Structure 1
Amino acid sequence: MGKVVLVTGVARQLGGRFVRRIQREPEVDRVIGVDAVRPEHHLGGAVFVQADIRQPTIAKVLAEHAVDTVVHMDVTGTPLGTRGSRSTIKETNVIGTMQLLGACQKAPSVTRLVVKSSTSVYGSAPRDPAVFTETTPPKSLPSGGFAKDAVEVEGYVRGFARRRPDVAVCVLRFANILGPCADSPLVDYFSLPVLPTVFGYDPRLQFVHEDDVMEVLRIASFEARRGTLNSGTFNIAGDGVLLLSQTARRLGRPTVPVLLPAVTWLGSALRSVGMTDFSPEQIRLLTHGRVVQTTQMRETLGFEPRYTTAEAFADFACSRGPGLLPPETLARTVDRLADLVPAASSEERT
């Protein structure tokens, strides 16, 4: 008999896409898609079960279908469509994960657990190391929002791994996911016609393409070809970094540098009108940035991303259409202004 894979969060585009992708694997016999709401997209030949992972009924789903592999993708920072609120998202992320892990603990058929996490667990602080490894402790733990949820989720997953050492547990810490179907607070930010930035800061950012997300989830759901278990915690990101100023130029969007207190006020204003989740953690990311090392992703997990950070962003930018200013014109203008600064300084000295 082949694998029976259960995937949570299938009403979202990313979860639905992974369900369709994993069905093509010859080792997979059945795929069970679970979500509290019915997806608007098709799930191929997967069995859809409408169930809320915050409720104990998820244990019945695992037992009824004799699930052996669980891919937990229902850990997110954005509501689904117009439904949900911050409190609902937190409950699904944290309480839902607790219920799911409790069900997995009681299910003897479960032998593998894959959890979608985020590099936001490292936080963003002014004294951060240049590059985070999987074992680098954060200088400042996230104080709220999705980042804090991810920290709590990983804590519960570690507890589960201790209680069920027979289960291979793989935690994937994704950098900011981008692509035509990406949905996140950072995507909302990049979709603004004018990008507010923090005066005096130009943070380094990393991205991972949604196509690479599909592939690494697939790899993590099976044993490695060399016979070892794909278990542990892994940073997942494309090669290279982009500065926030570079992303704005490639989008063709002008920036408005403002002082940090004004950015905080702006974030509250944007949240009040439902435009974007400009949380304090989001502000810290756009102030100090974050870069992670991906050596373990390659050497242990055996995954090589197809897209670099720059290529992932380029594909995302193409899907969003032109900004207020043509990127080439904006780039030339910025370069000319940069050339004028030294010239002006030389004239002042003479």
Structure 2
Amino acid sequence: MTHTVLVTGVSRHIGARVASVLAADPDISRVIGVDTVPPPSLTRDGGKSLGRTEFVRVDLRSPDIAQVIAAADIDTVVHMSLVSAPSRNAGRAYMKEHNVIGTMQLLGACQRSATVRRVVVRSTTAVYGSSPGDPAVFTEGVEPHDLPSHGYGKDAVEVEGYVRGFARRRPDIAVSLLRFANFMGPGVDSPLTRYFAQPVMPTVFGFDPRLQFVHEDDAVEVLRRMATDDHPGTFNVAGAGVLLLSQCVRRAGRIPLPLFAPAFRWLGEAARSVGLVDFSPEQLRLMSHGRAVDSSALEAELGWRPKFTTAAAFEDFLHSRLRGAA
């Protein structure tokens, strides 16, 4: 039984939702949410949306996280704190430190803990990279043709290496590693959702990549199930099916702007410098070659499948964020 849960990254949307759902579970005694800044809901609604969640301000790069785990007798850790894009203020160096060094500190604290018995880590399908030599669909055991060498994907590859090392050193702890496709839904704010919200959508000339999404409701449900029962292993998490980028553009009612790759990259750097959209080198590869994964291992493990397909998740995003605002 899960008694006391630590959720990292609660100042961001999905992390806050996971903490809230776990706090609503009567079988869970206590939920502690940690982040470097308070969740917006603490100031917006007095923390009502977080329920019983207790917020503690902690920088995962510091040893303080070990004191939190020890003081609260944490038995389950849900690590949601990976940052997918650098902020204008902090930049890429801080992002890498937060993702990699922060995870190392957290896992080190879990390794020394006598009470932790379950660890759930949010990762990303970006660990597979995007290249013309990729298989049509990635399963968890397929080695990527070209490992990501930039940004979030590269950080996630390093994080996963530390997670596997931790699992070997503490075989008594159930470790679940979840590779999520791009989150999509009404409350998701990411480089990709900001891209789809632009009136004109740059594309890479000559390419029409396959994209996959996971709806935020399904992501939260997967994390809830993983946090309340043991499901060790590595699992892809994505809505069924794929959408071509051209289909996304048409469904969003946007104007495509095909650009040669160097111009796309230049435009991305300009947009990133003013905080509009993050067209990183990794994003350029995704927008050229796409990526699709197989989530059947997760569905077999949980006896459950996502309610939203990739297309339905995108439609819900369009309805709530674009058409609803029109």
**TM-score, length-normalised on structure 1?**
0.88
Cα offset, 1:303, TM superposition: 2.9
Gapped regions of structure 1 (runs ≥ 5):
224-228, 327-350
The superposition leaves residues 33-85 of structure 1 with CA deviations (integer Å, 9 ceiling, x where unpaired) of: 001111111221111111111100100000000000000000121357x6532
Paired residues of 2:85 and 2:151 also in contact (CA < 8 A): no
| Alignment map for 1:236-255 (pairs within 5 Å) | 236-255=237-256
The whole-number CA distance in structure 2 between the counterparts of 1:45 and 1:322 is 34
Counterpart of 2:293?
A: 292
Give the aligned CA root-mean-square deviation in angstroms: 1.7
Paired residues of 1:222 and 1:230 also in contact (CA < 8 A): no
Counterpart of 1:313?
A: 314
The percent identity for this pair of structures is 58
The whole-number CA distance in structure 1 between the counterparts of 2:250 and 2:103 is 39
Counterpart of 1:218?
A: 224
Q: Name the amino acid aligned to 1:18.
A: V
Counterpart of 2:44?
A: none
Counterpart of 1:281?
A: 282
How many residue pairs get matched? 319
The whole-number CA distance in structure 2 between the counterparts of 1:122 and 1:137 is 7
Q: Whose Rg is larger?
A: 1
Q: Name the amino acid aligned to 2:98.
A: T
The whole-number CA distance in structure 2 between the counterparts of 1:321 and 1:175 is 21
Gapped regions of structure 2 (runs ≥ 5):
42-46
Counterpart of 2:149?
A: 143
Q: Name the amino acid aligned to 2:165.
A: G
The whole-number CA distance in structure 2 between the counterparts of 1:97 and 1:183 is 23
Paired residues of 1:205 and 1:242 also in contact (CA < 8 A): yes
The whole-number CA distance in structure 2 between the counterparts of 1:284 and 1:306 is 29
SS in 2 for 1:89: helix
Counterpart of 2:304?
A: 303
Q: Name the amino acid aligned to 2:65.
A: I
Paired residues of 1:179 and 1:315 also in contact (CA < 8 A): yes
The whole-number CA distance in structure 1 between the counterparts of 2:51 and 2:91 is 29
The whole-number CA distance in structure 1 between the counterparts of 2:308 and 2:241 is 10
Residue in structure 2 matching 1:101, options 96, 100, 107:
107
Counterpart of 1:180?
A: 186
Alignment partner of 1:156 is 2:162 = yes
Alignment partner of 1:12 is 2:26 = no
Alignment partner of 1:54 is 2:55 = no
Counterpart of 2:72?
A: 65
Moved over 4 A (4+): none
The whole-number CA distance in structure 2 between the counterparts of 1:318 and 1:105 is 44
Cα offset, 1:301, TM superposition: 3.1
Q: Name the amino acid aligned to 1:9.
A: G
